[in-house]
Chains A and B, each alone.
Chain A
């Protein structure tokens, strides 16, 4: 009987060999362990064996049954694993189809640029101030050293809401409002909407400015150069060429107009095809900021002593900077709010 145990074991091992499928494993289970299975029958045959041999043989039979069961079980696991892997591989997601998510909203490009400008100045220790869009003549003009009948008022064609009130033509009145209520040191920027009686491809009746100023006991023109050069290189490129040239604003003295090297032709004034650059009109420079040392007259209006304090002020057009940064040629695109335009900005 011992020999037939070994034969059975070998037969089982032969049968469970590589090719076996799940059904085959099941058939093997029935054939060996079923009610009429070969092992079951041998268990029954134990009765025929002498009582001395029975315990040893019983033990051997039990070992064989455990062995068969474990083998069947592990074979089955193996087959199922293989089947799972095969079916997983057979799944057919087209991984080249587009991804899917909810469409995000977009922030307006002017807000993007406004935030960038604001962040550079916040990092330099400036704070934010705000003022009304409907201003009075005093804050918009007079206290900025533009008395009635001053020709500089021509530079800013005004929209009026009454005889005495107007839509601010620049953010500079915020400068006056802050200085009226506070004492130096001050380093402030005032972002906001401004309005002019003007409407074409490069002028909008509403546009945005960021005004900034710094007042303390010893602020010099060289500081204006340093702060604004740093700002421009943050907003444009670190190697951007910057030039300061004399200009005129009633509320600053000395005054400066600040240009950066043309972003399109890199300041060459010419395209690679030797054509005059259309962005800088061949000059190689783009006007980007107006600035200057705050005029002593302005300090008198707000009750500061020009012999004790000095400061600089500057102003810039947000649309202009956005147009240069993104290569936008028509200012009206900002206010048409066409999603096809707005969605170009991340």
Chain B
């Protein structure tokens, strides 16, 4: 009789241990920001500011989403750059985002990133660096569309133990801008 509860407890513990990593990834669609994004858990949403040399001293409003799971910090920043002066400079704003990501550490990879295909393709850049001062490994995607700069970052903290975690590439690549239909 004592064996049964222990087995049940062990099974429950096993399910709880295995469950979150696999089951909690889910897509959240943000109609106000024009993006659908997958997360491994519910992120916090805060209002912030995006300020760079090209954006200017005033900065622009930004929505910042973040959650930490298993020593990986998942973050998405959506900077509001819908004014024509910014849209006209969107290529430079994206390029500056990539440059800043490269500057964060020692470059490991740098490649084209594309969301959707064909004439509606949104081209961006995906950068991976080892952060300075052994602060971990970060993968950053920079994309600009719909008058917004989307910065997707996944930082694997040293305590995670696996700098090349597959969760990172899953995060930086799981988004869509075509949100007017269901995901396929």
Q: Do A and B bind each other?
A: no
Measured CB to CB, the residues of A under 8 A from B are: none
